[in-house]
Structure 1
Amino acid sequence: MADMAVQSSDVMEAAGPYDRARAINAFKLGDVTFYWITRACAISVLLILSGIILSLIAGAWPAIRAFGVSFLLTARWAPTADPPVLGALGPLYGTLVTSVIAMIIAIPVGLGIAIFLTELCPQWLRRPIGIAVELLAGIPSIIYGMWGFFVLGPFLANYFQPFLIDSFANVPVLGTIFAGPPSYLSLFNAALILAIMVLPFITAISVDVFKTVPPVLKEAAYGVGCTTWEVVRNVVIPYTRVGVIGGIMLALGRALGETMAVTFIIGNAYRITGSVFSPGTTISAAIASEFAESDGLYQSGLILLGLLLFVMTFFVLAAARLMLMRLEQKAGK
């Protein structure tokens, strides 16, 4: 090795200052080229996003001029009427209700699975459960929709929904929320499918951030007599709350924009009712089921629905980013 180093040094000295300067310039050129390529890739993301926004605004502009603010406040959807009546209130309601119910179900289950895998699960069982979670994430959404339509929907309508309807029939508020009749296609069925679909996102991210907790912190907590629940509540969750919230917001964004699975099982009804067992629709389901048959002002109204979904998702992600920034600042203090 020493002989090779001496030979390399001799070669460099024999090369002279001109060849050495040319080699340095070649290195600089490669570094500058790499810098501009990566910068162009980053800027292309902004260009693509800007192009999507501009195309949505251009396509939705006829509907914006025709309906204005009333588009957000109208529940009726009658594109064949004369004149056409298009209102986004029904799809907006369905999108928010299904997403909220899905997150109410998925968050505790996902965190529970993550806590079990990192704190309580035997070593031999961790890998099978982890693989099962990854498989849930890899199943195409249309498979979820077909399973929900042929298996989950009938089961809920025949067994689960009648039980809840009878149990809460005389309870003032819950009686309205769980009012009948049972249905194969409903907001609740779609929300349950969404909960299953976003569960892997919450679980996988939570498992990863839970593993970053320094073992010494948990060992110190156990050493002073804390139980597993107390360690999770007072050490693991506070230490990883930023990552956990990030995973939850990622799952929420997935739930807001899901299309095919929801289209199969939600019923595609433009209505607003107090019961979660009634059919409904979401923005993405409405666009997917009607866009191919639309034209003119009708098509512009569907594009405006897409623009609303884009804006809604943007505000959700922006709020999540703001929340994470505040949590990071508090942690820094």
Structure 2
Amino acid sequence: MTMPKGKAKEVARAETSSLALQLSKKRRITGDAIFANLNRASGIAVIALLIAMIWFVLSEATPSLRHYGIFSFFHTRWAPSEASLASSSPNPYGIVQFIYGTAIVSIIAMVISVPVGVGVALFISEVCPKKLKKTLTTLTELLAAVPSVVYGFWGIAVLVPALRPAAGFMENTLAKIPGVGGFFEGPFFGFSILAASVVLSIMVLPTVIAISREVFSTVPRDHREAAIALGGTRWEVIRTAVLPYSRSGVVGASFLGLGRALGETIAVTMVIGNSVLGISWSILGQGATLASVIANEFTEANQPFHIESLFVAGFALMILTLVVNVIARVIVARMGAATGRAS
């Protein structure tokens, strides 16, 4: 028995539609699988690259670590000319002063840049007129595009002379305060931990500003409107609605800036003074960081275990950076959870 012509057309149309749906579903599944595999491969590649970098630095540092011992590097004398293939004691490659220099320069830079960066981000996102907002955003982002060596030249030509009055004030007043005066003792020769910290704070500013501004923009409108409805002023809205909600994001921005500061090399090298003979407890004194000593001495390392010891310094810098990032993630996660419970 033959099927009516109209019925046959409907059946054919249904079969065509079903086939098209199956092909579409198959293509979608194939595309999803490809995308998932590409994402998985990218993640694995990043992890593999990190492991490869750590392994390379550690393997290059191993001869020096075996010769002197791991813990023998934790002192404050760096004297490559005293190194010997025959002797392993004392170790002339102490790196404690470089760890201290890296930490103190980064901490001072963050003390300067975080309040300024958060304040600028708040102004752009909450106070600034719309006509100026885009211009200010672009200008702050341009700071990140300035090469490190330009910051270094600016520090030498402009910042170091400009810091002399402030350094004189610290020597004459703050240095006389019992307990903390040692951090401000002179003499001040220009190239110093203070100069490196100020240059570094300016370099970190774009990171803190950009991330904080994005965090402030995610605050729900309802929070602001509720504070306004209760009669809050602009400052009260910021203090009670914006800042509490954004606290974890601001902390994350600060730690990202700190990670950027820990590894900065050229600009810091140009203005810190590069004193490798010991720890300068005064911020007006000269010092060195893990990155600056590597940049200064790597091309001229010709003493026994000199290059290998520079790799030890590089490995210490990697460990320091990784520890800071892990701590940052833990703190941000806990603060985010606390903010979620509070809201």
- The answer to whether the 8 Å contact 1:70/1:87 transfers is no
Give yes or no for contact 1:188–1:277 (8 Å, CA) kept in 2: yes
User: What does residue 253 of structure 1 align with?
Assistant: 259
Displacement after TM superposition at 1:71 (Å):
3.9
Residue 171 of structure 2 is matched in structure 1 by: 165
Letter paired with 1:314: L
For residues 1-333 of structure 1, the aligned pairs below 5 Å read: 13=15, 25=26, 27-83=28-84, 85-157=92-164, 159-270=165-276, 271-295=278-302, 296-333=304-341
**Following TM superposition, by how much is the alpha carbon of 1:182 offset from its aligned partner in structure 2, in angstroms?**
1.8
Inter-partner Cα distance in structure 2 for 1:131 and 1:216: 28
C-alpha displacement of 1:15 = 9.7
Query: Residues of 2 paired with 1:326 and 1:226: CA distance?
Result: 29
| Segment drifting more, 189-198 vs 290-299 | 290-299
Could you tell me how far 1:213 is from its partner in structure 2? 1.2
Q: Describe the SS at the equivalent of 2:176.
A: coil
Paired residues of 2:73 and 2:93 also in contact (CA < 8 A): no
- The residue that corresponds to 1:3 in the other structure is none
Residue 163 of structure 1: CA displacement? Answer: 2.4
**Cα distance in 1 for residues equivalent to 2:317 and 2:16:** 67
**Corresponding pairs, count:** 324
Deviations 1:141-161 (A, max 9, x none): 11111111121112213x221
Contact in 2 for aligned 1:93/1:272 (Cα 8 Å): yes
CA shift digits 1:161-182 (9 cap, x unpaired): 1122223243223432111112
SS of the equivalent of 2:163 reads: helix
Q: Is the 8 A contact 1:71 1:89 kept in 2?
A: no
Structure 1 runs of 4+ with >6 Å offset: 19-23
Compute the displacement of 1:115 (Å): 1.4
Secondary structure in 2 matching 1:86: coil
Q: CA deviation at 1:35?
A: 2.6
176-185 or 261-270, larger mean C-alpha shift: 176-185
Task: Answer yes or no: is the 8 Å Cα contact 2:245–2:339 preserved in 1.
Answer: no
Deviation for aligned residue 1:245: 1.1
Distance 1:30 1:205 in 2: 33
SS of 2:280's partner is coil
Question: What stretches of structure 2 of length at least 5 have no aligned partner?
Answer: 1-8, 85-90
SS at match of 1:277: coil
What is the distance in 1 between the residues matched to 2:130 and 2:17? 60
What are the ranges of 5 or more consecutive residues in structure 1 without an aligned counterpart?
1-6
Structure 1 pair 119/97, CA: closer, same or farther in 2 (3 Å)?
same
* One-letter code aligned to 1:247: A
Measured at CA, do residues 14 and 223 of structure 1 come closer, stay the same or move farther in structure 2, by a change above 3 Å?
A: closer
CA drift of 1:116 comes to 1.4
Identity of aligned residues (%): 38
* CA-based RMSD: 2.3
Does the 8 Å contact 2:208/2:257 carry over to 1? Answer: yes
CA distance in 2, matches of 1:259, 1:227: 44
Report the Cα distance in structure 2 between the residues aligned to 1:246 and 1:50, rounded to whole angstroms: 24
* Contact 2:61 2:312 survives alignment (8 Å): yes
Cα displacement string for residues 107-158 of structure 1 (whole angstroms, at most 9, x for unaligned residues) = 111111111122222233322321221111111111111111121112213x
d(CA) in 2 for partners of 1:107, 1:27: 46
**Is the 1:60–1:300 Cα contact (8 Å) retained in structure 2?**
yes
SS at match of 1:77: coil
The residue type equivalent to 1:41 in the other structure is S
